[in-house]
Amino acid sequence: MTPKVQSTTSSRNLHTGAVNSWSPTSFGLEGTTEYGVFNISVYGPHTIRVQVSRTGDFQPNPYSVVKAPLSEGFEVSDAGSHLLLQTDFINVEISKTPFAVTFKDSKGEIINQDDQAFSVSWLGTEVTNYKKLQDNERFIGLGEKTGNLDRSGSAYTNWNTDYFAYGTEDDPLYMSIPFFVGIHDKGSYGIFFDNTHKTLFNFGASNNRFAYYSAEDGEMDYYFFHDAEVKGIITAYSELTGRMQMPPKWALGYQQCRYSYYPESEVLTLSQTFRDKKVPADVIYLDIHHMEKYKVFTFDGEKFPDPKAMIKTLKNRGFKVVVIMDPGIKTEESYEPYVDGKDKGLFLKYPDDSIYEGQVWPGWCAFPDFTKPETREWWAEKMAFYTEAGVDGFWTDMNEPATWGQCTPNLIDFDYEGQQVSHRKARNIYGMQMARSVKEGSEKLISDARPFVLTRAGFAGIQRYAAAWTGDNVASEKHMLAGVRLLNSMGISGIPFSGYDIGGFAGDAAPSLYARWMSIATFAPLFRAHSMINSNDAEPWAFGEEVEEISRNYIKLRYKLLPTIYSAFYKSTQTGLPITESLAIQYGQDANVFDTKFENQYLFCDAFLVAPVKSKRDIAKVYLPQGEWYYFFNDHKYSGGNSIFIESPLNYLPVFVKGGSILTLQSETYHTGEDHDGVLNLHFYKGQGEATYLHYEDDGLSNAHKEGDFCKRTITLNSEKEMVQISEQAGDHNSTYKKYKLHFHGFKAKSIRIGGENKNLKTESLAFLEKLTEFDPLPEHLHPFHEVQNVLTFEIDNTTNPIDIELH
């Protein structure tokens, strides 16, 4: 039966109506209703797709999903009043009168359900799915969104927006990730609303009946995820939308940026100052003043007379160079990229086929249509201008796209892979496709080197192409803590590689704020400081001796932790799980983690519990979830399930290690290309049960790891049996660590048996941070420089059989 045609001008809510007919398909089932058609398909045992349209066909987003539906692993049946689709983890019930969807777990508990009266409805062209609120339901995620960890009672808009100095409650921002996780008494689920139009997510704002998500146009197309753990939901979402690739190791080191470092002499002085002051660093950025009159694919001949020579000098000092690229192409007839792009028809156009122009840094500009394959290839070719000069990475900015006036006309045409759509449908995807073009260009132009792309704008799936940062933040305590929540939310939403501008982009950070921000950012995936033109200097040494020492201390700690961080990145490429992890992911049924006093806390590399505190707070209240927790700097052990007070002077950020964790550290280095001392320090923290850690190495630069040139070892700690096992190596890479040094925290053993031989453990002092020369206010009883631990060092053979270690 053909569905009835609804008016798109109706001012009343129009429901999908009752099911008229249905039939099984290779991937699930499909059918018609009074006013539409529906298609429900299986993408995995944890993942169901629901599509509803009133036009009789579907026009899905071609950019976000990389997985195909499954043709097995499910059953479809007619239960009379409803249709039933079942996988091992999800039971989907489709009510016939009217059409409405209920999701249950394998035990029959309702996890999520439509509001039966409204379900999928239209108001004019706006399409909405109304979901009944469950008891004690909380909502987390939705990507780059300000506000509290728990999104209940709030509403958010997805519309990529250039927002200088945004407020810590403002919305929308630069990036749109329409994926969230719901948590309630019966379990948890995720929903990805795959519609690139402007969307609205209402989590019970101004009503107590339903949550809903709507798009101003297009069809209802969403993916539902369920697993016993939130981690499983994020893994299923990232399997659907793709995962990041291993970044170059230098991208995990400290990165220094300013709007702008110029001329060439200032850049060279900056690099030498890092080395002279023994502050580790890997990356220097060139912002828009490197260009001639802000025109992309140029260097200013006066400020940078010999960019190749400058970049060569920087590389000799151990620095990589990242340049900014804005999409705006100045409409100047003597400017080759404009003339070439115009001749090839690659710019955004009005419906009358004339080129759209908007004002941005260079003046009036044309904008490449990155939703057109030919444009992406063209832009990638133009990047040779930079790669031939020695540039290593690319920073895509202003790619919402941003223009002065902040009101791009909606009638502008985008190719959208041949569909020909307006700005309303294509805006949210534009920045993602620019990042895609840049990544693909970098892969082609820089031989066998992993790309590094940093983007401001994006959409679901952006993690396949770029790291992300949170845009033009402000030098304030509120922004420092809001940035933590933004990163945690992006991690929930499938973007593991993200960061914020340390110290704040707009305004001038107080010395204490900069120091605290630096300590927090040490435990963030992207470790980049950035500041604005006409602001005070904002390098680690610009705030006085105390801040310089604190900054150097934490940056050195970051480089010591690189084996742990690099292994965590590898794990994320396999699972999609975040590097910075909101406590709501592992402890979502614990109401304390949503308390505004504790909502900023997070896990880093699944081992560290980081409690961000304001710069002038000497006593911090910290919530420790269930388990055992060790204060990182002196091994004092605390029982979880409690809140504690801990002294937190400026040079000691409250950081704890989860009992049962395994950490790997290396010696100090001043950039990632510098050799360490060849010793891998393994730290074992006693906890409960058994825990595993995957240590991962490769050359850190090339793609040889894809052909087996890697080194992996699984390290297992059984705290109760006091046993450690180190597996034999997998992969062909020669590890750079020739010795292992074992450190045992919380164990009382005095000796171990290894390789059939008893060895005594030595007692050594340990300090993860160096003592400051003049500024060290931590009380003597908490001081980390008087603690002792049990250690053992032994040679490691990369081809050895598994190593069994038993403590005595």
Kind of pairing between the strands at 19-24 and 14-15? unpaired
Q: Where on the phi/psi map is residue 116: left (φ > 0), alpha (ψ -120 to 50), or beta?
A: alpha
For residues 249 and 498, what is the distance between their CA atoms, to the nearest angstrom? 15
For residues 502 and 258, what is the distance between their CA atoms, to the nearest angstrom? 11
Structure tokens at 249: 């190791």
Q: Terminus-to-terminus CA distance in the chain, angstroms?
A: 76
Kind of pairing between the strands at 320-325 and 283-286? parallel
Residue with more model confidence, 586 or 784? 586
Q: Is residue 156 part of a domain?
A: yes
Kindly report the length of the chain: 808
Kind of pairing between the strands at 187-193 and 220-226? antiparallel
Q: Given 241, 260, 277, which residue is the final one in a domain?
A: 241
Could you report the per-residue pLDDT of 673-728, keeping only the tens digit for each?
999 999 999 999 999 999 999 999 999 999 999 999 999 999 999 999 999 999 99
Q: Is residue 293 part of a domain?
A: yes
Rg of the Cα atoms in the chain:
27
E strand segments, 541-593: 580-582
* Placement of tokens 């940056």 in the chain: 555
Q: Is residue 9 part of a domain?
A: no
The DSSP symbol for 347 reads B
Question: Above 60 in pLDDT, residue 522?
Answer: yes
Could you report the per-residue pLDDT of 100-110, keeping only the tens digit for each?
999 999 999 99
Structure tokens at 127: 């399409």
**668 and 635, same structural domain?**
no
**352 and 228, same structural domain?**
no
CA distances from 377 to 331, 357, 398, 443 (A): 20, 22, 20, 12
Question: Above 90 in pLDDT, residue 779?
Answer: no
Asked if residue 496 has a cis previous peptide bond (ω within 30° of 0), the answer is: no
CATH of the domain at 469: 3.20.20.80
Q: For the residues 273-298, what does the mean pLDDT come to?
A: 98
For residues 99 and 119, what is the distance between their CA atoms, to the nearest angstrom? 7
SS3 230: helix
CATH of the domain at 126: 2.60.40.1760
**681 and 567, same structural domain?**
no
Q: Report, as residue numbers or ranges, the catalytic residues.
A: 397, 400, 472
What was the pLDDT predicted at 216?
98
Residue 212 φ/ψ, nearest 5 degrees: -155, 160
Q: With beta carbons less than 8 A apart as the criterion, state whether 758 and 804 touch.
A: no
Q: Given 580, 598, 629, which residue is the final one in a domain?
A: 580
Residue 343 φ/ψ, nearest 5 degrees: -65, -30
Q: Per-residue confidence at 5, pLDDT binned at 50, 70, 90?
A: low
What was the pLDDT predicted at 706?
96
Q: Is residue 3 part of a domain?
A: no
**343 and 262, same structural domain?**
yes
Structure tokens at 354: 């004339």
Q: With beta carbons less than 8 A apart as the criterion, state whether 502 and 528 touch.
A: yes
Q: What residues are paired with 189 via a beta bridge?
A: 182, 226
| Residue numbers of the domain that contains 46 | 14-241
**572 and 508, same structural domain?**
yes
The DSSP symbol for 15 reads E
Residue with more model confidence, 771 or 272? 272
**382 and 286, same structural domain?**
yes
Residue 556 φ/ψ, nearest 5 degrees: -60, -40
* Alpha-helical regions (H) of 317-467: 336-343, 373-382, 384-387, 423-445
Question: Above 80 in pLDDT, residue 776?
Answer: no
**576 and 613, same structural domain?**
no
Residue 695 φ/ψ, nearest 5 degrees: -90, 130
For residues 209 and 771, what is the distance between their CA atoms, to the nearest angstrom? 56
**319 and 439, same structural domain?**
yes
For residues 717 and 703, what is the distance between their CA atoms, to the nearest angstrom? 31
Q: Per-residue confidence at 808, pLDDT binned at 50, 70, 90?
A: confident
Question: Above 90 in pLDDT, residue 578?
Answer: yes
Question: Above 90 in pLDDT, residue 783?
Answer: no
Q: What residues are paired with 104 via a beta bridge?
A: 91, 110
Q: Which residues have a Cβ under 8 Å from the Cβ of 316 and sit 6 or more positions away? A: none
Handedness of CA 511, 515, 520, 521 (dihedral sign): positive
Q: Is residue 467 part of a domain?
A: yes
For residues 717 and 728, what is the distance between their CA atoms, to the nearest angstrom? 15
Q: With beta carbons less than 8 A apart as the criterion, state whether 479 and 471 touch.
A: no
Amino acid, res. 435: A
Could you report the per-residue pLDDT of 364-396, keeping only the tens digit for each?
999 999 999 999 999 999 999 999 999 999 999
CATH of the domain at 585: 2.60.40.1180
**298 and 236, same structural domain?**
no
For residues 58 and 37, what is the distance between their CA atoms, to the nearest angstrom? 9
Q: Where on the phi/psi map is residue 453: left (φ > 0), alpha (ψ -120 to 50), or beta?
A: beta
For residues 365 and 227, what is the distance between their CA atoms, to the nearest angstrom? 48
Q: pTM of this prediction?
A: 0.97
For residues 300 and 554, what is the distance between their CA atoms, to the nearest angstrom? 35
SS3 337: helix
> Burial, 689: exposed, middle or buried (Cβ in 10 Å; 0-12, 13-18, 19+)?
exposed
* Alpha-helical regions (H) of 362-503: 373-382, 384-387, 423-445, 477-492
For residues 55 and 135, what is the distance between their CA atoms, to the nearest angstrom? 35
**502 and 529, same structural domain?**
yes
Residue of 666, 716, 499, 693 lying closest to 605 (CA atoms): 693
What was the pLDDT predicted at 55?
86
Handedness of CA 259, 265, 267, 272 (dihedral sign): negative
Question: Above 60 in pLDDT, residue 311?
Answer: yes
Q: Which residues have a Cβ under 8 Å from the Cβ of 402 and sit 6 or more positions away? A: 162, 360
Q: Where on the phi/psi map is residue 451: left (φ > 0), alpha (ψ -120 to 50), or beta?
A: beta
SS3 content of the chain, % helix, strand, coil (to 5): 20, 30, 50
Give me the half-sphere count of Cα atoms (radius 13 Å) on the Cβ side of residue 690: 8
For residues 271 and 590, what is the distance between their CA atoms, to the nearest angstrom? 47
What was the pLDDT predicted at 765?
84
How many separate domains does the chain show?
4
Q: Per-residue confidence at 56, pLDDT binned at 50, 70, 90?
A: confident
> Burial, 116: exposed, middle or buried (Cβ in 10 Å; 0-12, 13-18, 19+)?
middle
The distance of Cα 92 from the centroid of its chain, to the nearest Å, equals: 31
Handedness of CA 92, 95, 101, 104 (dihedral sign): negative
The DSSP symbol for 111 reads E
Q: Is residue 1 part of a domain?
A: no
Q: Given 222, 241, 260, which residue is the final one in a domain?
A: 241
Residue of 20, 29, 45 lying closest to 93 (CA atoms): 29
Q: What residues are paired with 237 via a beta bridge?
A: none
**157 and 50, same structural domain?**
yes
Question: Above 60 in pLDDT, residue 325?
Answer: yes
Give me the half-sphere count of Cα atoms (radius 13 Å) on the Cβ side of residue 23: 3
Question: Above 90 in pLDDT, residue 170?
Answer: yes
Structure tokens at 198: 């402007």
**484 and 506, same structural domain?**
yes
Residue of 96, 54, 93, 98 lying closest to 76 (CA atoms): 93
Q: Which residues have a Cβ under 8 Å from the Cβ of 561 and sit 6 or more positions away? A: 522, 605, 663, 665
What is the biggest distance separating any 2 CA atoms in the chain, rounded to whole angstroms? 83
What was the pLDDT predicted at 786?
45
Amino acid, res. 622: V
Strand order in the sheet with 75-78: 75-78, 82-86, 90-95, 100-105, 110-113
Kind of pairing between the strands at 220-226 and 47-53? antiparallel
For residues 458 and 462, what is the distance between their CA atoms, to the nearest angstrom? 6
SS3 121: strand
Q: Is residue 8 part of a domain?
A: no
Over 265-297, what HEC string results? HHHHHHHHHHHHCCCCCCEEEECHHHCECCECC
Q: Is residue 438 part of a domain?
A: yes
Count of helix runs (H) and strand runs (E) in the chain = 12, 52
Structure tokens at 258: 């300013």
Amino acid, res. 673: G
